[in-house]
């Protein structure tokens, strides 16, 4: 018998190697990345096009903003793209929740929590949004009378945290907010600020960073116990209800305490900081563009005639919706997110090697001059139906796309539209001069670098409650 040896031919390399900025030996583009990341990525798109190749230490990363290529990663060929190494940093903090897992584990959790996030179900949180916002605005009323400014960073974070906690978990988190503020800040720093590729110490080494993570997870574990006990007593919190009843589809076993904790931590973190950042930039943009604000005030008066908006009302506020959409275009809270290619792929004619990372950035895509005229301008009219015609769907993706699209997008949009409307019904906001309003550290969300002080001025015609 003769044996014929078949030569194993390497798979053909598809596409050209993408161009990219020059780096230095070993570190590659890491120093530029660690400087002003947002600026660096915008420059990469401007100078090298819609697929550019970056070297971050040992990692090859492609920044992709060509809309068909974005669609291929998130939808058409999404099974080739996993969360990957850059998401590993999130896992050290959040554990194994919806944001950090793939495959069957992710699918089972997504199915379990999805019902409370459907558009219809979300509408039922309307009274909670109204109550929490009214509490905040009553306090602003007192401060406005004294001529005291408010810090939008603190106020928006607190409001979205209180709303999320009450509406999904049935828990009044207000007493815990001073402690949680620090925990959330630490977590965000840890997950991104030190660079996913920068801090490579294994989790068992007692580095400062690892000790902080361990302490914050302990604080959160205690809080979770309290929230679950509260649910057992009161039965409140529709998401808590689903999570407590959830079972593993293979074993039929209830979720473990760790699974429950990690999912709760994920939802708390993914849900409140993002919405707070979006709310903040919307309010800041309105303060900076009085004509846009006046048109919104006119719409609110015409449609609501002074009444507090309901979930149904916001559907009748197209300009308010466009204001929020435009704010999410310029300041998408989750402004970059990574994937790893399992097998070789080709994106917009460029070769993506197996094992390399792909970086999608709504921040960069939303400022791509090929799809957005005068991209740096805050112009809600660009979302007029006429002007939106023909725009590629993946030129705009603040909530992601495909199966991994943000589970909380209806909730976030409802909150943003209602809260912005309620604030503007009662107050005119002006930025306190001298505030440093630069976005983007290399944080996970597009936060401003410092506090943002605004002076609320009461319109003296409180909305009817």
Span interacting with ligand HEM, options 127-135, 194-202, 264-272, 433-441, rule CB under 6 A: 264-272
Task: Figure out which of the listed residues 18, 56, 94, 98 binds ligand HEM, where binding follows CB under 6 A.
Answer: 98
Binding mask 136-175 for ligand HEM (x = CB under 6 A): ----------------------------x-----------
Inter-residue contact 44 to 185 (CB < 8 Å) = no
Contact residue for ligand HEM among 237, 271, 309, 448 (CB under 6 A): 271
Task: Give me the least distance between CB of 262 and ligand HEM, in Å please.
Answer: 11
**Chosen residue from 63, 176, 240, 270 binding ligand HEM by CB under 6 A:** 270
Q: Do residues 164 and 272 make contact, with C-beta atoms less than 8 angstroms apart?
A: yes
Q: How near is the Cβ of 305 to ligand HEM at its closest, in Å?
A: 28
List C-alpha distances in Å: 150 to 36, 81, 217, 221, 419.
28, 43, 30, 31, 16
Closer to ligand HEM by Cβ: residue 264 or 463: 264
Binding of residue 75 to ligand HEM (CB under 6 A): no
Q: What is the rounded distance in angstroms from the CA atom of residue 262 to the CA atom of residue 268?
A: 10
Q: Which is nearer to ligand HEM, 399 or 427 (CB)?
A: 399
14, 75, 110, 143: which one contacts ligand HEM (CB under 6 A)? 110
Please work out the total of residues on this chain that contact ligand HEM, with binding judged by CB under 6 A: 24
Helix axis angle for 257-288 and 208-234, nearest 10°, is: 100
Spatial separation of the C-alpha atoms in residues 22 and 332, rounded to whole Å: 28
Nearer to ligand HEM, 44 or 278 (CB): 278
Name which of residues 225 to 254 contact ligand HEM (CB under 6 A): none
Q: With contact defined as beta carbons under 8 Å apart, do 110 and 246 qualify? A: no
**Candidates 172-180, 187-195, 247-255, 329-337 — which segment interacts with ligand HEM by CB under 6 A?**
329-337
Shortest approach of ligand HEM to residue 459 CB, angstroms?
A: 26
| Contacts by residues 248-254 (CB-CB < 8 Å, ≥ 24 positions apart) | 248/108, 249/104, 249/108, 250/104
User: Which residue shows structure tokens 């909150």?
Assistant: 415
Looking at the DSSP bridge assignments, the partners of residue 428 are 457
Q: How many CA atoms lie within 13 A of 59 on its CB side?
A: 22
User: Whole-angstrom Cα distance, residue 427 to residue 454?
Assistant: 11
265 binds ligand HEM (CB under 6 A): no
Exactly one of 183, 278, 292, 359 binds ligand HEM (CB under 6 A); which one?
278
* C-beta closer to ligand HEM: residue 255 or 337: 337
Residues 358-417 that bind ligand HEM (CB under 6 A): 398-400, 404, 406-408, 411-412
Q: Strand pairing partners for 464?
A: 307
Which of 275, 282, 361, 442: binder of ligand HEM (CB under 6 A)?
Answer: 275
Rounded Cα distance between 210 and 202, Å, is: 9
Shortest CA distance to 343 belongs to which of 56, 81, 17?
Answer: 81
Buried b (16+ CB within 10 A) or exposed e, 19-39: ebbebeeebbbbebbbeebbe
Q: Considering beta carbons, is residue 32 or 274 the nearer one to ligand HEM?
A: 274
Give CA–CA dist 181/143, Å, rounded: 22
DSSP-derived letter for residue 243 is H
Q: Is 308 in the site for ligand HEM (CB under 6 A)?
A: no
Q: Is the Cβ of residue 144 or residue 410 nearer to ligand HEM in the bound state?
A: 410
Q: Which residues contact 404 (CB under 8 A, 6 or more apart)?
A: 74, 78
The nearest distance, CB 2 to ligand HEM, in angstroms, is 53
* Nearest-CB residue for ligand HEM: 408
Q: Interface residues with ligand HEM (CB under 6 A)?
A: 98-99, 110, 164, 266-267, 270-271, 274-275, 278, 332-334, 337, 398-400, 404, 406-408, 411-412
């Amino acid at each position: 018998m003769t044996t014929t040896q078949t030569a194993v031919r390497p798979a053909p390399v598809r596409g050209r190697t993408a161009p990219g900025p020059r780096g230095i030996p070993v570190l590659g583009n890491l120093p530029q990345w660690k400087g002003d990341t947002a600026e660096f990525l915008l420059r990469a798109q401007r100078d090298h096009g819609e697929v550019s190749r970056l070297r971050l230490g040992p990692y090859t990363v492609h920044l992709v903003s060509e809309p068909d290529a974005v669609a291929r990663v998130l939808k058409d060929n999404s099974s080739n793209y996993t969360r990957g190494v850059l998401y590993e940093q999130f896992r050290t903090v959040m554990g194994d929740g919806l944001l950090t897992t793939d495959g069957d584990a992710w699918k089972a959790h997504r199915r379990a929590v999805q019902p409370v996030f459907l558009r219809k179900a979300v509408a039922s949180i309307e009274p909670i949004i109204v109550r929490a916002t009214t509490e905040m605005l009553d306090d602003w009323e007192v401060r406005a009378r004294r001529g005291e400014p408010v810090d939008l960073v603190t106020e928006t974070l607190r409001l979205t945290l209180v709303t999320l906690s009450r509406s999904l978990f049935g828990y009044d988190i207000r007493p815990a907010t001073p402690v949680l503020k620090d925990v959330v800040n630490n977590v965000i720093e840890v997950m991104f600020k030190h660079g996913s590729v920068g801090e490579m110490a294994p989790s068992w080494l007692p580095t400062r960073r690892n000790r902080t993570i361990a302490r914050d997870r302990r604080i959160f574990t205690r809080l979770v116990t309290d929230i679950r006990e509260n649910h057992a007593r009161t039965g409140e919190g529709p998401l808590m209800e689903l999570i407590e009843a959830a079972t593993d589809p293979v074993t039929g076993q209830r979720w473990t305490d760790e699974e429950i904790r990690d999912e709760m931590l994920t939802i708390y973190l993914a849900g409140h900081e993002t919405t707070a950042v979006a709310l903040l930039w919307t309010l800041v943009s309105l303060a900076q563009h009085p004509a846009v604000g006046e048109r919104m005030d006119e719409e609110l008066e015409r449609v609501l005639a002074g009444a507090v908006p309901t979930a149904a009302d916001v559907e009748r506020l197209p300009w308010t919706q466009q204001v929020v959409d435009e704010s999410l275009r310029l300041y998408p809270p989750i402004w970059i997110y990574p994937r790893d290619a399992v097998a070789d792929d080709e994106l917009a004619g460029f070769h993506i090697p197996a094992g390399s990372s792909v970086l999608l950035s709504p921040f960069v895509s939303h400022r791509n001059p090929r799809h957005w005229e005068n991209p740096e301008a805050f112009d809600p009219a660009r979302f007029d139906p006429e002007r939106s015609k023909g725009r590629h769907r993946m030129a705009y993706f603040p909530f992601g796309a495909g199966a991994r699209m943000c589970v909380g997008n209806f909730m976030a949009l409802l909150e943003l539209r209602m809260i912005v409307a309620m604030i503007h019904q009662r107050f005119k906001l002006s930025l306190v001069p001298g505030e440093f309003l630069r976005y983007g550290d290399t944080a996970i969300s597009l936060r401003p670098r410092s506090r943002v002080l605004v002076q609320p001025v009461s319109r003296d015609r409180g909305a009817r409650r």
